[in-house]
């Protein structure tokens, strides 16, 4: 199916409308969506990106530089007793897989699924009260790299969320 629009070329492009006009839902997919709704079933699962400290780029322009907006912590869910400004909910977070060639992110992910209750990047790199210089050093101090269990864990996680082609490229150079 193709969608052609005749009109003003300089008008802003409405990609959402074009997508909806060009989308075709077969009868099988329609029945499946009616009988087995998957979008409104708890628990909600969100994907969490693995970013190094100061690894996410924030761009300031003349328009947003003088903005009066401030960061505010979300206030959804039930308040956690004994912790100020901390709320619990039934949302599950799933970390994206990280290729082992992206070494520091790979070790950061490994520490994130191993270390309990960190509140900062420094907490992840702290082992027995000593702050390690890198995430790899912290993994070595915790003996996470002594065997191939970290590779087995990474492959298991990848098999839950990735396609077969993505898993193949995970182990190919």
| Residue 128: predicted pLDDT | 92
Summary mean pLDDT of the chain: 80
pLDDT classification of 32: cutoffs 50, 70, 90: confident
* CA 111/CA 139 separation, integer angstroms: 7
The predicted model scores a pTM of 0.59
Does residue 163 carry a pLDDT above 60?
yes
Rounded to an integer, the average pLDDT of 146-170 is 76
CA atoms within 13 A on the CB side of 57: 1
Top pLDDT among 45 and 75 is at: 45
Which segment of 2-6, 13-17, 83-87 scores lowest on mean pLDDT?
2-6
* Model confidence band, residue 5 (pLDDT cutoffs 50, 70, 90): low
DSSP state of 53: T
């Amino acid at each position: 199916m193709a969608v052609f629009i005749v009109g003003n070329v300089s008008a802003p492009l409405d990609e959402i409308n074009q997508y909806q006009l060009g989308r075709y839902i077969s009868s099988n997919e329609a029945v499946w969506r009616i009988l087995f709704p998957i979008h409104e079933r708890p628990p909600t699962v969100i994907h969490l990106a693995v970013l190094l400290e100061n690894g996410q780029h924030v761009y300031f322009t003349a328009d947003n530089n003088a903005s009066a907006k401030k960061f505010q912590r979300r206030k959804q869910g039930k308040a956690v007793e004994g912790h100020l400004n901390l709320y619990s909910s039934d949302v599950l977070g799933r970390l994206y897989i990280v290729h082992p060639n992206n070494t520091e992110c790979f070790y950061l992910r490994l520490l994130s699924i191993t270390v309990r209750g960190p509140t900062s990047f420094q907490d992840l790199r702290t082992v027995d009260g000593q702050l390690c210089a890198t995430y790899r050093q912290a993994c070595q101090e915790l003996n996470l790299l002594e065997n191939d269990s970290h590779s087995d864990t990474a492959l298991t996680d990848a098999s839950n969320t990735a396609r077969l082609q993505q898993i193949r490229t995970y182990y190919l150079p």
